[in-house]
Amino acid sequence: MKRSRVLAGFAAVAAAVLGFVSVPSAASADVLSTHPVVSGTSSVAYNCVEDPYPGGQTSFDVTFSAPSKVRVGVKFTLKATVAASVTIPIDVPANGVSGSVQAVLGGAGSGVVSAAGLTNATVVPAGQLLTLTGGAATVFPASRGVLTFTPGVLETTNWLGQHLVCTPYLPPATALSIVVK
């Protein structure tokens, strides 16, 4: 009888230890969130269409930012910024353009996430470059390895109600790579 109590006690301790090891605690999950944020930019050649007008080609610099290391199965936020490479011909009011840009996942991931919430926070005078900030997407890494982010479709709507859809016409370079542990 004494031996069965000892084995039962050992089993309980083992289960507790194994349970602790297999389920990351909040503290251990936070350790990876303290890794520095890394950013990467890809200059993307886009074909942009605004119905009913014919398309035109231009380029935008798309920058993605994320923690340098993340844990598999733990969500994190991917941030996006989009900067025009050509100056604008008219004044754009603050928050006059809103939009989203896709991030195509590769390497240790697959699929597409959309970083929504892009806008110009301040007035952009004519003759200046338009930069959209504030884009964010939630990413759930499912596999260990290197996770890559490549810019995809960019969509914007301006204060006049015009909707612009820009699709890469040349394969864009990967903007960012992070480690999934």
Given a cut of 50, whether residue 11 has pLDDT beyond it is: no
Note the pLDDT of residue 30: 40
Q: How is 98-118 classified by DSSP, letter by letter?
A: EEEEEEEEEET--EEEEEEEE
Residues 68-96: what's their mean pLDDT? 96
Arithmetic mean of pLDDT over the chain: 84
User: Looking at the predicted structure, is the pLDDT value of residue 16 above 50?
Assistant: no
Pair of tokens at residue 80? 């996006």
Quick one: which of 165, 169, 175, 174 has its CA closest to 63?
A: 175
DSSP string spanning 119-142?
Answer: E--S-B-TTS--EEEEEEEEE---
Q: Is the pLDDT of residue 28 over 80?
A: no
pLDDT reported for residue 55: 86
